[in-house]
Amino acid sequence: MPQSSPQTNLYLHRTNVVIQHIRENLTEDLSLGALAQVAGFSPFHFHRLFKSITGETVADTVMRLERAAALLRASPGLSITEAAFECGFQSAPVFSRAFKKYFGLSARRWDRQSLLQNSKNGQVLEGFPRYTLESLSGLAKNEFDVSIRTLPAQRLAYIRVYDSYSQFSRVVEAYERLIGWYSGRGGKVAQTTLYGMSQDDPEVTPLHLCRFDWCLQVPDHWKAEGEVSVIDFPECQVVAIRCVGDLRKEDKALQYLFRYWLPRSRYQPANLPSMEIYHRQPAELGWETFDIDCAVPIVAL
């Protein structure tokens, strides 16, 4: 695989910093000029740069809409107005117009369970069954054991995979590069924790725009290098299900957590990505079976 230039890596790092800034500052100024300042580029240059790396324009409204949709789906008691303000919209009418324009359906008419299909892409996750609430209700007793625990604050090194659903080989190759980078710096894979973090909800975000991060816990003094970025990930509570199986098993667990367990709990999703916490390396198991915790960061209602 061709080596990235130092300039390309710098652009990638700055883009990742901006995406993280958007996630952490949904109620702040997310205009093109403000985000370009965070990135350290001129607004015109940054707009073209951001689109070339992520495949989309600097669409902060879309990011806010996707976050609001995820909150509404996981929290049936949350009002549309509360979701709008939580995600940085100045008023409920502004949010409602943007929601209908983007999803082709008004927020009030959405039942919060049906798949949201963006009017521009008609997205469907093929091959993964959509479970009924009745079938999900029996999983806790028969299949899934849900636990809640606290993850400590930690420094993570990561490689971000854009358009992560189109080619699985792209995800595997990114994993191999991250493991190679970590081992090359003297890290022992058996002594760290591997995370897979989904930055987007594939039921809301167009599949070609979904991003996936491979992350490894690293010492606090390690710095970004090449295509590898670093982040200080905060302490958080997670709700988790141990999954040993294929991607369908993981999808079932996530449907259970988001569609059944969370709406009936005292928690809502935190403003952090859902994650896979690996008990065994995927390369060890051949990339068809996985041994992971499916985990969702949570906060009290």
pLDDT digits (tens, 9 = 90+) for 34-75: 888 888 776 655 666 676 566 666 665 567 777 788 888 777
pLDDT for the residue 119: 39
Bridge partners of 299, per DSSP, are 268
Q: Distance (Å, rounded) from C-alpha 44 to C-alpha 33?
A: 9
Bridge partners of 150, per DSSP, are 237
Q: Do 162 and 199 form a contact (C-beta atoms < 8 A)?
A: no
What class, spelled out in words, does domain 61-122 have in CATH? mainly alpha
pLDDT digits (tens, 9 = 90+) for 156-211: 999 999 888 878 889 999 999 999 999 999 999 999 999 999 887 776 667 777 88
Domains 6-58 and 61-122 share a fold: yes
Q: Distance (Å, rounded) from C-alpha 190 to C-alpha 53?
A: 32
Domain chopping of the chain, boundaries? 6-58, 61-122, 146-300
- To the question of domain 6-58 being in CATH 3.40.5, the answer is no
pTM for this entry? 0.68
pLDDT digits (tens, 9 = 90+) for 124-152: 455 566 767 777 777 766 778 899 999 99
Write out the two tokens for 19.
């995406």
Q: Distance (Å, rounded) from C-alpha 219 to C-alpha 157?
A: 9
The DSSP call for residue 153 is P
146-300 topology per CATH:
Multidrug-efflux Transporter 1 Regulator Bmrr; Chain A (3.20.80)
pLDDT for the residue 126: 55
